[in-house]
Structure 1
Amino acid sequence: MSGAGPIGTVIVDDDRAIAEVHARFVAAHDGFRVLATAHSGQDALDAVARHRPELILLDFGLPDIDGREVLRRVRSSGLGTVEVIAVTAARDLESVRFARLNGVRHYLVKPFSARELRSRLDEVAAHRAEQRQAPTTGLAQSEVDAMLTGGIRTVSPTAVSPLPKGLSAVSLDRVRAALRELGAPGQGAAPDASAAELALIVGMSRVSVRRYLEFLVAIGDAELTPRYGQAGRPEHRYRGS
C-alpha cells in the first residue's frame, strides 16, 4: 500500500509468540498498520506478494527459506524498494554485510528493547514523510550525497556482544579512532588509508586490521574506495564515515 495512510507492515518471525508481540507493538504505533504475520520464508513471500507492504519486519532464521534469501527475492521483485527492518539473532559480519548490500537501513539484533524498535519505526515513518515532501524538480547535490551515504543503521558495534569471532571491542575502537584521525586538521595525513598503512598506525597485523575495517564498512562506520593506479588489482582505501 502507499499514500498518506498508515504504513502497511508484514511481520515475519518463525516464533509465533515473538511475531505476535511485534505485531501488537507495530499496531499500537499510529503511523503503521499490520497487514499480515508470517512464520516461514514461503509464507513471508506469499504475504508480501498479496499485501504489497511498505515495511517488512524480517527475521533471518526461518525454517524453510532463509530470511536472507527472502530479502533477496523481495529486492528482485516489483517491491524492490520496500523498507525492511531486520529483527534477527544473526550478528555475524556476513549477515550484516548482506543486509547492507540489499538496502536494509535498520538492523536490530535480538534481544532488543521496545524503545529500540519504536525508534526504528519512528525513523521509517519520518523517512516516508520526507519522501512525500521531496521536490519534483530534482535533488540538490547535498541531497544526492546524503542519500548515497545513508547506510545501514544497527546497534553500536561495541554494544553487540559478542562481536564476530576473533574481534575485540578494544581493538575495534583503536581502528575506528585511527580512521577518524585521517585527514584531521593540522595532522597532515591523507583523508584515507590502506589496511597496511592503518596497521602501522595502530600496531596490529594487516590481516587483523582488514577484518576490523570490513566490519566497520559493513555497519556503516567506514567507507571503502578502490584506488586504481598502475596495472593490477586496485588498492582498497578506507576512511571514516
Structure 2
Amino acid sequence: MIKVLVIDDDFMVAKVHSGFVNSEPGYEVVGVAYTAVEALRAVNTLQPDLVLLDIHLPDMNGLDLLQHLRDAKPELDVIVISAAREMETVRRALRGGIVHYLMKPFSREDLHDRLEHYRKTYRSLRAPDQPLDQEDVNRLFGLGGQSRKPLPKGCSVETMGLVERILRESAGPISASETAEKLGTSRVSARRYLEYLAEEGIAQVSLKYGGVGRPERRYAVGS
C-alpha cells in the first residue's frame, strides 16, 4: 500500500484530492496538512511514501517546503499539484526532484494517470534485485513510444500504456466499451486511444456484426 500525505491550504480541495487518491487501488491517504508546519510534522510521524504538494501555503512557499520535506525524509516522492503556471516555478519544481507536476484544475482521470505511472515506477525502483534494461528505464522517465507520432490532444503516455497492456492481456479482440470498463474511463476516451494504436499499426481492427445499427469495432494487438 502506497501511503500518501495531501498538503493543501484549502480544506475542500484537500478533501477532494484525498477522495481521488483513496479511490485508487493500492493507495491510502494517511494524513492531510494545511500548512508547512503541519506538513513537516506529518511527514515525521506518518512516514508517507508520496506527497501531493500545493505550492501556495500560508506559512511557506511549497517549493521551499519541498527541500525541508526531503531533509526530513530523503526518499520521499512528491507530486506538485498547483495552479501556478510560471515557467520558473515549474523549472524549480523539476530541479527539486518531483515526479510529476499537475496543474489545477484537473480531472480525476488526470490524477489517475499520474498515480498509475507513479505506482509502476514506485514498484520498480523498490525491487533492487531486479535488473532493468534501457526500455524499462525509458518507461520510468516517460520516454516510451517516442518514435510514434504525437498523441492526440488530451491523451497521456501513462493511459496509453494502460490501454496497450489491456490489449495484450485480453484473450481476444476487445471493444472500446470493454476497454473503458477496465480502464475506468469513458468509452469515447478509450476509443481515442484504441484508434491511435490502430493508426500506428500496433492494434488491428475487426468488425463484429449483429443486432441493430452499425457494426462494433473491436481491437486486438497487431501481429
Aligned partners of 1:70 and 1:143: how far apart in 2? 34
Question: Structure 2 CA distance, aligned partners of 1:146 and 1:76?
Answer: 28
2:40 aligns with one of 39, 45, 48: 45
Distance 2:135 2:46 in 1: 31
Query: Are residues 133 and 20 of structure 1, via their aligned partners in 2, closer, same or farther at CA, if it must alter by over 3 Å?
Result: same
TM-score w.r.t. the length of structure 1 is 0.55
Task: Determine the structure 2 residue equivalent to 1:239.
Answer: none
Q: Which of the numbers 61, 67, 70 marks the counterpart of 2:65?
A: 70
Unaligned runs of 5+ in 2: 143-152, 154-223
CA positional deviation for 1:26: 0.8
Number of the residue aligned with 2:55: 60
Distance 2:109 2:127 in 1: 27
Alignment of 1:1-241 (within 5 A): 6-77=1-72, 79-135=73-129, 142=134, 146=138, 150=141
- CA displacement 1:169-205 (0-9 Å, x = unmatched): xxxxxxxxxxxxxxxxxxxxxxxxxxxxxxxxxxxxx
The Cα of 1:144 is off from its aligned counterpart by: 9.7
TM-score for the superposition, normalised by structure 2 = 0.59
**How far apart in 2 are the matches of 1:150 and 1:130?**
12
Structure 1: which 4+ aligned runs deviate by more than 4 Å? 143-147
Structure 1, unaligned stretches of length 5 or more? Answer: 1-5, 152-158, 160-241
- Give the C-alpha shift of residue 108 in structure 1: 0.5
Number of aligned residues: 146
Corresponding residue for residue 182 of structure 1:
none
Q: Do 2:99 and 2:118's aligned partners in 1 also have CA atoms closer than 8 Å?
A: no
Q: Calculate the aligned-residue CA RMSD, in Å.
A: 2.7
- Report SS of the residue matched to 1:120: helix
